């Protein structure tokens, strides 16, 4: 879904509510990403806010099985018409207003790409099919065995010799 900023800027309220309902092929889940987004034009800034949700297929880090995960993502992105800096600056201070995406001279925003990025960024770092997942057979055996790193054997003799 591509939106035209000039069309929204021409509206009296300078904002538009969009219902997002698309299948994003790059997610490889076959499920639609659904949500609502508000696009507002405030002078040189274009603000996209809202939330989306979908079910994605993830691979469990313990058992390597595939499971479905319900993902909710909040979107709060600021775009800037033109460029943030009109001239090259060698050193400048980063502030909250610095973290915007520059549109340069473009009048369109690809909302599908924005939603895809937010979904990917909201995938959990630790992916578990459930909290009680014990993992595959190799992981179960590894937990049951007491493995001692052979490089640490030197400490056994160290403590024995220093007790005297």
**Which two tokens mark 5?**
């900023």
Share of the chain above pLDDT 90, in %: 34
Q: Which comes out higher in pLDDT, residue 18 or 145?
A: 18
pLDDT in tens, 7-63: 888 888 888 999 999 999 888 888 899 999 999 988 888 889 999 999 999 999 888
Q: Extract the tokens encoding 55.
A: 């079910």
Contact, 119 vs 50, CB < 8 A? no
- Say if residues 15 and 45 touch (Cβ distance below 8 Å): no
Dmax (CA) for the chain in angstroms is 87
pTM: 0.73
Neighbours of 20 (CB within 10 A): 19
CA-based angle 73:100:12, to the nearest 5?
Answer: 85
Sign of the CA dihedral with 65 first, then 66, 67, and 72 last: positive
Is the pLDDT assigned to residue 82 strictly greater than 60?
yes
Q: Mean pLDDT over residues 65-86, rounded? A: 84
């Amino acid at each position: 879904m591509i939106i035209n900023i000039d069309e929204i800027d021409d509206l009296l309220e300078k904002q538009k509510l969009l219902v997002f309902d698309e299948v994003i092929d790059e997610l490889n889940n076959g499920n639609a990403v659904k949500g609502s987004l508000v696009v507002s034009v405030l002078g040189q800034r274009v603000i996209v806010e809202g939330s989306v949700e979908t079910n994605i297929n993830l691979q469990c880090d313990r058992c390597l099985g595939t499971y479905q995960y319900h993902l909710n993502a909040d979107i709060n992105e600021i775009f800037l018409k033109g460029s943030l800096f009109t001239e090259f600056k060698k050193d400048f201070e980063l502030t909250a207003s610095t973290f915007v995406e520059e549109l340069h001279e473009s009048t369109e925003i690809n909302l599908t790409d924005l939603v895809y990025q937010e979904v990917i960024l909201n995938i959990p770092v630790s992916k578990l099919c459930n909290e009680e997942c014990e993992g595959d057979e190799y992981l179960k055996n590894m937990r049951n065995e007491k493995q001692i790193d052979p490089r640490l054997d030197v400490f056994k003799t160290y403590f024995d010799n220093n007790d005297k």
